[in-house]
Amino acid sequence: MQSESARMSSAAEARFRLPTPATVVRTMTVSALDPASDDVVARLAVGSWKNARFFPASAVAGRTARLLDDIANADLVVMVATAGGDASAAAAIGDICSDRRVHTATFVVRAAAVSDEALSRTLGQVRPWSLMVVIASADDYLEDILRSFR
Amino acid sequence: MLRKEQNDLLTQTGPGTPMGRLFRSYWIPALLPEELPENDCPPVRVKLLSERLIAFRDTNGRLGLIDEFCAHRGISLWFGRNEECGLRCPYHGWKYDVTGQCVDMPSEPEQSNFAQKVKLKSYPLVERGGVLWTYLGPPDTQPPLPEWEFATVPSSHSFMSKRLQECNWLQALEGGIDSSHVSFLHRGDLNTDPLFKGARGNQYNLADLRPVFEVVESPGGLYIGARRNTEDGRYYWRITQWVMPTFTMIAPRGNHSVHGHFWIPIDDENCWTWSFDYHPTRPLTDDEVAAMRAGKGIHAKVFPGSYRPVANTDNDYLMDRAAQKAGKTYSGIAGFAMQDQSLQESMGPVVDRTKETLVATDSGIIMARQRLLRAIKAFIDEGIAPPGVDLVHQRVRSAAIVLPKDQPYKDGAREALIAQPGVAPASV
């Protein structure tokens, strides 16, 4: 007689999985940490999103309590940095997220010409405040990553 | 999550499918040498990328991998007689050599040369590094033989196993590059498994159950780094290599051997998990090999012949709820290999990725999917060879290393992430 595991992991039984996915209402904020990241954040902001808000570097640079509160008022806080850029704003965002136990992730775009030293400076600024870091050569990966978080 | 059409694109590897065409760019493991142990041994059925084939070793030791079915009336050549430099169908005596060429057709008139006009599809089958490799792509784009380090060190330094995994290849690969489950699913085994225990780096794993992950593009695929704090204000990095489409290598521990996997599609609902262990600078000890054969480390105990794990879906993976409750294992399943495989098979033959709820620590998996989708597009639309075909992409290592806090690990571990003959792996 087939075990329950064998029966239940079959293709036949897969037909009976609940057709609707789990209800997930996840809010997300995406903040540019430096002016060079503004373009990619602005491009993303134009797209259709259910529960995502976008903040340019100029707003983030102000680091007002109200803005930081706004950014951190989410289930996932994504920061976008350019390798070699000034990502020091990550500290203020990361600090408030840490207090609120909000998950942070930083996406670093590294152009081919950027040196290891320049990348190192940026990583030194974002690593202490990011529970996940992705370093990619192209910013279009960022939209794919964000779309994966429904 | 993926859209359905993306999920189909990545999971379907049969003839003519885009991912199937991508897989056919590479040499892939087909058999262990022990499956064709001697000249004129019995033929072996082989199914890879949804193609049914038959493998045999002829009278002169040459290896053949040809269509399973006789060109005459479709009889399976598994029943064939391996004799006199060919595989002879027992129905009417048609014989094929290792290239699939029909070389004898005794049911036809004696002077007939019709046999010369009959040839079965065949693929090269080559032995290297304890594996019989095959290439199922077009002959004119056949790449050089693989140069993964485990396949180029002396045979005494390397061990390979394979096991049947009853689910799609991709959900198995994703388990291999997902570092975040180690702190949960494999929690009980780090200090007890003979192939992992005793390494200084294990202290960092056990002291810090919440590693931070960093995913970086590599020429062949991705580096997936997991960092933990050290006692002196630096980071302990464990860096996994993923090379497209399906090679992974996990960071070493202490002076233990280094290990990793390939997941090779049999069809869209089953795959072979190939697991290697090797040490670049010393032979494996008898105790290490015995442990691997016994299903320790990343290997599993399997039934001879079928290579199906002893703990499998038919026996509920020998689930031990008492051990789960007592904290000896997290899932109730014993051993690294089956802890992973049992859960991956439970997802169903092909997991529905439209229903996932991914989180930030899944970014490695997300990036890998996107890298594969981009590689497929570039390959199909522009004929660009995918990453991993280039031998430079294969001469790689994983690494465990301690670095200053702000240093990019791709920079700090640059030399450690390349295979260097005679140089010990970077390990803690």
- B359 near A CB under 8 A: yes
**Average confidence (pLDDT) over B176-193:** 80
Of the candidate ranges A136-140, B127-131, B235-239, the one whose mean pLDDT is the lowest:
A136-140
Q: Rounded mean pLDDT of B271-285?
A: 97
Mean pLDDT of A2-12: 80
Across B116-129, average pLDDT: 96
Average pLDDT over residues A78-92: 94
Shortest CB distance from A132 goes to which of B363, B405, B407? Answer: B363
Q: What is the mean pLDDT of chain A?
A: 88
- Higher local confidence (pLDDT), B70 or A70: B70
- Is residue A118 within 8 Å of residue A83, measured between CB atoms? yes
Q: What is the value of ipTM here, to two decimals? A: 0.82
| pLDDT value of residue B87 | 98
Q: d(Cα B96, Cα B61) in Å, to the nearest integer?
A: 15
Confidence of residue B189 (pLDDT cuts 50, 70, 90): confident
Q: Are B95 and B43 in contact (CB under 8 A)?
A: no
Q: What is the mean pLDDT of residues B140-157?
A: 96
CB contact under 8 A, B405 and A124: yes
Phi/psi of residue A133, nearest 5 degrees: -125, 135
Of A13, A133, A137, Cβ closest to residue B214 = A133
Q: What average pLDDT is seen over chain B?
A: 94
Nearest-neighbour CA in chain B from A65: distance (Å): 25
Which of A64-73, B138-147, B236-245 is predicted with the least confidence, judged by mean pLDDT?
A64-73
Q: Quote the percentage of chain B above a pLDDT of 70.
A: 100
What pLDDT, on a 0 to 100 scale, did the predictor assign at position B361? 86
Strand ranges of the sheet holding B27-31, from the earlier edge strand across to the other edge = B27-31, B131-135, B125-128
d(CA B411, CA A114): 13
Q: How confident is the model at residue A20 (pLDDT cuts 50, 70, 90)?
A: confident
Mean of the pLDDT values across residues B317-324?
95
Q: Which of residues 153-172 of B touch A (CB under 8 A)?
A: 166-167
Q: Is the pLDDT of residue B206 over 80?
A: no
For residue B390, pLDDT beyond 70: yes
pLDDT of residue B47: 95
Query: What does the pLDDT average to over B303-327?
Result: 94
The lowest-confidence range among B171-175, B193-197, B345-349 is B193-197
Q: What is the pLDDT of residue A61?
A: 82
B411 close contact with A: CB closer than 8 A: yes
Residues B144-167 have a mean pLDDT of: 97
Q: Are strands A76-82 and A103-109 parallel, antiparallel or unpaired?
A: parallel
pLDDT of B317 higher than 90:
yes
Instruction: Tell me whether residue B232 is exposed, middle or buried, using C-beta atoms within 10 angstroms of its C-beta: 0 to 12, 13 to 18, 19 or more.
Output: exposed
Task: Kindly tell me if the per-residue pLDDT of B244 is higher than 80.
Answer: yes
Q: What is the pTM of this model?
A: 0.92
Q: Distance between CA A128 and CA B103 in Å, rounded?
A: 69
Determine whether the interchain pair A3/B357 forms a contact, defined as Cβ–Cβ distance below 8 Å.
no
Digit-coded pLDDT (tens) for A22-59? 777 789 999 999 999 999 999 999 988 988 999 999 88
The label of the residue with tokens 């859209």 reads B3
Is the Cβ–Cβ distance between B147 and B288 less than 8 Å?
no
Within 8 A of A135 by CB-CB distance, chain B residues are 214-217, 408, 410
- State the pLDDT at residue A64: 81
The pLDDT score that the predictor gives to residue A150 is: 67
The mean per-residue pLDDT over the stretch B289-295 comes to 94
